[in-house]
Amino acid sequence: MTTSLNWWKGGVIYQIYPRSFMDANGDGIGDLAGITSKLDYVASLGVDAIWLSPIFTSPMKDFGYDVSDYCDIDPMFGTLADFKALIDRSHELGLKVMIDQVISHSADAHPWFEESRQDKTNPKADWYVWSDPKPDGSPPNNWLSIFGGSAWKWDSRRLQYYLHNFLESQPDFNFHNPDVRKAHLDNMRFWLDMGVDGFRLDTVNFYFHSEGLEDNPPVPAGEPKTMGAPHDNPYTYQRHVYDLSRPENLDFLKDMRAMMDEYPGTTTVGEIGDDFPLKRMAEYTSGGDKLHMAYTFDFLNKPHTPDYIRDVLKNMQEIVGDGWPCWALSNHDVERSRTRWGANEDGEAYPLVALALILSLRGSVCLYQGEELGLPEADVPFERIQDPYGIPLWPVFKGRDGCRTPMVWDKSLLGGFSTVEPWLPVSKEQLPLSVAEQEANPDALLHKVRQLIHWRQQQPALVNGELSQRDVNNAQLVALVREYQGERLLVVLNMTGESQQATVGADIMTELQGHGFVSTLNGQALTLPAYQAFFAKLS
C-alpha cells in the first residue's frame, strides 16, 4: 500500500456496496459497523483504499442514489459516529476512505426540492430544472430518462415539468445556479473535514444541461450508441448533445479541484457514461486542474476479445493524453465480470488473468467486492427483484440486483452475511466460493489475487509507468510495455483457454517471478498456457 499524497495514482480501490457487505445488527441489510468489522480482511488484499457506495439519508427508491440529506448517514447504515469509527479504523490499517457523491440529482424528498416545487418564486425555485410545457401540454423536448420514458415529470403545483435523468423521484439540479454549485461544494467539505480521502462522483458529466432545451438528435445510422445504458434501452437511440457533457461542466470541475487541493492527499474519480467516453475522460482528467481520474464503461460491457482490448488501449493512448483512467471489470451497476466476460471460460483461472489485465494498465484500478473470490452473477428471481431499473425491462434486462447480492463470508445458508433473510437472496451458487472456504484452500483464487496485488504494488513500472503496446506475433495475446524512470517491463497476457506461443524479442533481461503465473521462455520463444501471464524486465 502506498503512503504518498499521490496514493491514488496507480492505486487499487476496493468498492464496497454497503447494503450487501456485512450486516452487524441483524436486520438483513449491511451497515457501517459490519464494514468496519471486515476491514482487516480488505486490508489483507493489499489494496490502497475503499470506496463506499452511498450511505446518506435517503428514501432508498434507488438504494441511496436518491439523497435527501447530504450531510448525514441513513439510519439503516448507522450514525455519523459509526462512520467516524470506520474512517479511524481504515486509517489505522493504512486504507484510504472514498465515498460516493451523487450531486447531479437529489431525492424528491430532499427539503430543497420540496421547497422548490411549491411555486415559482420561493428561494429554491430555480435550484432544479423546471420548464413550461409545450402549447399542447407535452414535455419541453424529447430527452429520455435512462430508467425509461420521458426525462420530464409534470408537477401540478408549479404547472411545469421538472427534469429527471433517472427515476421520476430523482429530480435534476440546476447547476447553472451558483448557489447550487456552492451548496454541493460545502457538502463535500463536510466530509473532507471529517477525514474522508476522496470521492467517487456519480454521473459526473450530467451536472449541466443546455438552457435552450433543444431536442437531442438521433444517433446516425452505423455510428456507435452510448455505453451508458443497455442497447435495448431507447435512451441509446439519441445522441446526447444537449442533456449532458455540457462545456460549463469543466469550470465547475475546476472549482471542485481547487477545493480538493486544500486537502492534500485527497482524490476524485468520476463516472462517465457518454456517447464518446474517452474524449470526455480526456477533457475531465487532463491538465491536473479538474478530476484526478475517471472511469468509463469500456471494460464494463460485454466485448472483451484481444482485438477489442487493444483498440480500447490504442484509443486511450491517442485520446486521453496526460489524463488518468481508473479501470474496472465489475461494479454495482453491471453484470459481474466472471459471468459477463468469463461465461465460456474456466471459472477458476479466467478471473485472475482478467484482473492481471487491469492491474497491468496505465491508470488506477477499482476492485468490486467479491471479485477477488471470482463470484459469478447471481440469479435473482423476479419476485425478489428490488432494482427499479430492472422491473420494467424484465426479462431482457434483469436489472442490477444480480451483482448486488450479499457478500458470502462462509458457506452457511445465509453466507455469514446476516442472521436473518437478507434484502436480496444469498446466491447458493456463490456459497462454495465464500471467503472462509477460500481462506482454507491454499490453491484458491483469493490467495492468488492477494499475491498478485501485493506483487504488483512492488512494481513501480506497473503502478506509475507509461504504456505502449507490443507485437508478439500472436493476435490472441495482449502484450504491453510499461516504462517508469528508465525501467521497462513487458507484460504478455493469455486470456484464452488454449496454450499460446509468442515471440517476445531479444531485449528480455530478467523474467519476473512472484506474481503466481506460469510460463516457459526458451530464448525469444514464449509459451503461455491457458489463462496465464508473463512479466519480464527489458533492456
- The residue from 62, 82, 202, 298 that is catalytic is 202
Give me the amino acid identity at 111: P
- The residue from 136, 193, 262, 443 that is catalytic is 262
Residue 369: name the closest of 52, 76, 29 by CA: 52
Quote the Cα angle for 232-235-241, to 5°.
Answer: 140
Q: Is 202 a catalytic residue?
A: yes
Q: Is 88 a catalytic residue?
A: no
The DSSP element (H or E) to which 333 belongs, if any, is none
Burial class (CB in 10 A: 0-12, 13-18, 19+), 260: buried
Residues 6+ apart with CB under 8 A from 235: 144, 145, 146, 226, 228, 229
Residue 356: name the closest of 369, 371, 335 by CA: 371
Give me the amino acid identity at 327: W
Contact between 103 and 140 under an 8 Å Cβ cutoff? The reply is no
Q: How far separated are the first and last CA of the chain, in Å rounded?
A: 28
What is 436-497 written as a DSSP string?
HHHHT-TTSHHHHHHHHHHHHHT-HHHHH-EEEE---S-TTEEEEEEEETTEEEEEEEE-SS
Q: Strand, helix or coil at 366?
A: strand
Contact between 245 and 270 under an 8 Å Cβ cutoff? The reply is no
- Give the number of other CB atoms < 10 A from CB of residue 438: 22
Q: CA torsion, points 204, 209, 215, 218, in degrees to nearest 10? A: -20
CA torsion through residues 23, 380, 299, 346, sign: positive
Q: Are strands 198-201 and 96-101 parallel, antiparallel or unpaired?
A: parallel
Residues designated as active site:
202, 262
